Amino acid sequence: MTAIVFDLDGTILTTDREYRDILANAIADVRGDAPAEWLETYDEAFSEHFSDFDSAPVQQAFGRIDGCCDPESYANALHEAEIASLSPPRNAHTDLERLADEFELGVLTNGVREWQLAKLRAYDLEGYFDAIVASYEVGAHKPDAAPYRVLEERLPADRYGLIGDSESDVDGAKHVGWSADRYEGGGFGALPEGLFRD
């Protein structure tokens, strides 16, 4: 059995907006404006909490902002804004349905599981995948080998190929012995051509 594993952000779902703009709009939706110091504090705090696998990193990051009295409201607004900014590739449902008939399909994503699952569910994509692994549940982010190994445990296969939009996705996959291709957009209609070159 062969498994094709997809990165989520930038691969299954993409956006043409800068994340800072999404963040600013989410903050403005709650308080009416988005002060630069809020954006800077959030970015720094989130990176710290996310890297350390602290619980609820988005809420904790907003909680570090002076004057932010309701971190949960801002976190919800950011999640909604992030999801609204995303879209799947053209013909994604058709392509994933075709691939699911022949291959085991998985998702390997850096992030908090429920936060990431909500993105897939918003676009009715979750059902195509036989296993979904988020780095937060493993305690290691790609390109560390641990998330890849957990995916293998949940989705046994003879060989694996990963499609991801970053070099770290691809490098991590190759380091654990998977095939990998850098996703450059345009959908999944050509898969698996080029993914398994052996």
172: domain CATH number? 3.40.50.1000
- What pLDDT score was predicted for residue 39? 98
**Quick one: 54 and 96 in the same domain?**
no
How confident is the prediction for the chain on average, in pLDDT? 96
Longest dimension (CA), the chain: 57
- What pLDDT score was predicted for residue 196? 84
**Quick one: 133 and 96 in the same domain?**
yes
Number of domains into which the chain is organized: 2
**Quick one: 73 and 169 in the same domain?**
no
Residue-number span of the structural domain to which 61 is assigned: 19-85
**Quick one: 65 and 8 in the same domain?**
no
**Quick one: 114 and 167 in the same domain?**
yes
pLDDT range class, residue 53, cuts 50, 70, 90: very high
Q: State the Cα angle at 83 between 183 and 122, rounded to 5°.
A: 90
- What pLDDT score was predicted for residue 102? 95
**Quick one: 124 and 178 in the same domain?**
yes
Coil/strand/helix, residue 164: strand
- Sign of torsion over alpha carbons 53, 54, 55, 56: negative
Whether residue 71 has a cis bond before it, omega within 30° of 0: no
Is 198 a residue whose pLDDT tops 90? Answer: no
Span 4-11, average pLDDT = 98
**Quick one: 148 and 73 in the same domain?**
no
**Quick one: 172 and 119 in the same domain?**
yes
Predicted confidence (pLDDT) per residue in 113-128, tens digit: 999 999 999 999 999 9
**Quick one: 93 and 72 in the same domain?**
no
Is 83 a residue whose pLDDT tops 70? Answer: yes
Q: Which residues are CB-neighbours of 101 under 8 A, at least 6 positions away?
A: none
- What pLDDT score was predicted for residue 185? 92
Q: State the Cα angle at 7 between 2 and 8, rounded to 5°.
A: 130
**Quick one: 61 and 126 in the same domain?**
no
Span 138-150, average pLDDT = 97
**Quick one: 100 and 153 in the same domain?**
yes
Residue 8 covered by a domain: yes
Share of the chain above pLDDT 70, in %: 99
Residue 198 covered by a domain: no
**Quick one: 138 and 157 in the same domain?**
yes
Token pair recorded at residue 84: 């609204």
